[in-house]
């Protein structure tokens, strides 16, 4: 069985962008491209070794200002990110 209390999110950097409020982003991000800068904290930079040879980079991010109480908008929160 999975222990739900055994979860940990380790923040290794931050994303800097022009979007400053939860109202700024376009709906589903389809209508407007936004540039952003990814800052990795110095203590994790060694983990970037060899990244320059990669063609793609997958970035997982945490929207720290999101309302964690919202589970349903027009479909379930998980279902709208299909």
Q: Which residues of the chain have pLDDT under 70?
A: 1, 22-33, 71-82
Q: Which domain holds residue 64?
A: 13-81
- Residue 43 counted as domain residue: yes
CA 42 to chain centre: 19
* pLDDT number for residue 41: 95
* pLDDT number for residue 44: 94
* pLDDT number for residue 74: 63
* pLDDT number for residue 43: 96
The domain tally of the chain equals 1
* pLDDT number for residue 5: 72
Q: What is the DSSP string of 63-74?
A: -TTS-TT--BSS
- Does the model's pTM come out above 0.75? no
Strands 13-17 and 36-40 come out as antiparallel
- Residue 2 counted as domain residue: no
* pLDDT number for residue 73: 65
- Residue 31 counted as domain residue: yes
- Residue 8 counted as domain residue: no
């Amino acid at each position: 069985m999975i222990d739900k209390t055994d979860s940990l999110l380790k923040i290794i950097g931050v994303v800097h962008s022009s979007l400053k409020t939860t109202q700024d982003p376009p709906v589903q991000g389809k209508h407007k491209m936004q540039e952003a800068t990814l800052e990795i904290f110095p203590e994790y930079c060694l983990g970037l070794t060899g990244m320059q040879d990669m063609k793609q980079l997958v970035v997982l991010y945490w929207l720290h200002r999101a309302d964690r109480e919202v589970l349903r908008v027009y479909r379930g929160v998980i279902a709208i990110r299909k």
